[in-house]
């Protein structure tokens, strides 16, 4: 027995050396994740660690125990990374945020805000209403181009639609938020009226094709049911579709777009306000590379995933009721390669300077296998 215990002591000594060596690497990874806005948990990486390393076992009797051992090690690693990231945020983000605000508030128009589409789009209108008429703007082709430009410091902020009061969440924006690890720093709600735009002299019986964003078609579907023979052709942006039919100069083509686009591209409004919901609003988010938190921030967005087991979502949602926090939205998005498993996006009222809010977020993060704070910002009331 004594000999066996001595052998175990020697093994434990080597294990501690290896543990320390592993955690030193974990700290380096935490620094890299902070600098590149990566989430702490990479579920696919952890699955690879489990499957690859348990294959090294000669005695398969230990398979389950080895998985538990590795899971414990990875849980400890995540905890250390979280502590390290909090240190980075406390030391660096506060200083960077104060410096950034000083620059932006003292030097007008030093920043560039990007949007998807062309001039005359609803995204541009939301940008102008948020930043002001004198804001420097940059239009980009696709939603993802806005995220890439922000990530690569080509712009300072981005404005994108995330939700419509008639058709719900815009899935592409939710997916890109998770993919790029950027933050929501503000929002703007915009009343959206869709109009049927044509070149001058066009009559309704001339139209054969209509171009617009799929969301515009959805929000105007009652109108198009009365014109079932028209071919509806999806376009990346409502304003781009207006510009397209202006260039085509064909009476057989129409676009669904804004009144501003009609003015900008010298088109006639053949039918106005064709959206079926006359209280049709789109919520736009303003994204940035860093968290920007002030005392008037009253809305929080988070993203998480949980184990695919009964009661796990309930365990998260109960924290809002127990802490008297008002949840304003929940949206789910499928996890690729994980059938019937989801990421959850939740908006709720609160400020991160409130201790109750901080504790609630800690509890949610503890019960999640993936967690990311998307932002704390001032909500825009309609």
pLDDT at residue number 220: 94
Per-residue confidence in pLDDT tens, the chain, 382 aa: 888 888 888 988 988 999 989 998 888 888 877 666 666 666 556 666 777 788 888 888 888 888 888 888 888 887 788 777 767 666 654 444 444 443 333 334 468 999 998 888 999 999 999 998 888 999 999 999 999 999 999 999 999 999 998 889 999 999 999 999 899 999 999 999 999 999 999 999 999 999 999 999 999 999 999 999 999 999 988 999 999 999 999 999 999 999 999 999 999 999 999 999 888 899 999 999 988 888 889 999 999 999 888 899 999 999 999 999 999 999 999 988 788 889 999 999 999 989 999 999 999 999 998 999 999 999 987 7
- Which domains are present in the chain? 2-104 (1.20.59.10), 111-192+279-290 (3.40.190.10), 195-271 (3.40.190.10), 295-382 (3.30.70.260)
Query: Which residue numbers are catalytic?
Result: 282, 284
Q: Which of 260, 283, 219, 254 is CA-nearest to residue 121? A: 260
Q: How far apart are CA 28 and CA 21, in angstroms?
A: 11
Contact 275, 194 (CB under 8 A): yes
Q: b vs e for 220-233, b when ≥16 Cβ sit within 10 Å of the residue's Cβ?
A: beebbeeeeeeebe
**For 79, phi and psi rounded to 5 degrees?**
-65, -45
């Amino acid at each position: 027995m004594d000999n066996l215990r001595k052998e175990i002591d020697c093994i434990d000594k080597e294990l501690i050396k290896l543990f320390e060596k592993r955690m030193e690497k974990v700290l380096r990874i935490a620094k890299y994740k902070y600098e590149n806005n990566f989430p702490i948990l990479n579920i696919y990486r952890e699955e690879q660690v489990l499957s690859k390393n348990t294959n090294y076992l000669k005695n398969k009797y230990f398979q389950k125990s080895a998985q538990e051992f590795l899971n414990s090690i990875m849980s400890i690693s995540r905890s250390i990374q979280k502590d390290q990231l909090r240190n980075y945020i406390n030391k660096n983000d506060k200083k960077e945020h104060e410096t950034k605000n000083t620059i932006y508030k003292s030097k007008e128009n030093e920043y560039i805000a990007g949007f998807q589409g062309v001039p005359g789009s609803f995204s541009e209108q939301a940008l102008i209403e948020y930043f002001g008429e004198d804001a420097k703007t940059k239009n980009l082709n696709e939603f993802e181009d806005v995220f890439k430009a922000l990530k690569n410091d080509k712009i300072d902020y981005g404005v994108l639609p995330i939700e419509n009061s008639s058709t719900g969440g815009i899935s592409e924006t939710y997916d890109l938020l998770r993919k790029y690890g950027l933050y929501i720093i503000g929002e703007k709600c915009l009343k959206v009226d869709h109009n049927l735009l044509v070149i001058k002299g066009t009559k309704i019986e001339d139209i054969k094709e209509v171009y617009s964003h799929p969301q515009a078609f959805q929000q105007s579907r009652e109108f198009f049911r009365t014109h079932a023979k028209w071919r509806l052709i999806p376009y990346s942006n409502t304003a781009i579709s207006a510009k397209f039919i202006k260039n085509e100069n064909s009476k057989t083509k129409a676009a669904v777009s804004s009144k501003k686009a009609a003015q900008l591209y010298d088109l006639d409004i053949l039918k106005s306000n064709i959206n079926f919901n006359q209280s049709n609003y789109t919520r736009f988010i303003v994204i940035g590379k860093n968290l920007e938190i002030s005392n008037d921030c009253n809305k929080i967005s988070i993203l998480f995933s949980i184990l695919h087991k009964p009661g796990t979502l309930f365990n998260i949602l109960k924290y809002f009721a127990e802490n008297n926090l008002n949840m304003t939205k929940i949206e789910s998005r499928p996890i690729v390669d994980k059938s019937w498993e989801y990421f959850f996006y939740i908006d709720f009222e609160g400020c991160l300077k409130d201790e109750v809010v901080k504790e609630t977020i800690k509890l949610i993060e503890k019960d999640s296998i993936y967690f990311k704070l998307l932002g704390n910002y001032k909500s825009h009331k309609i």
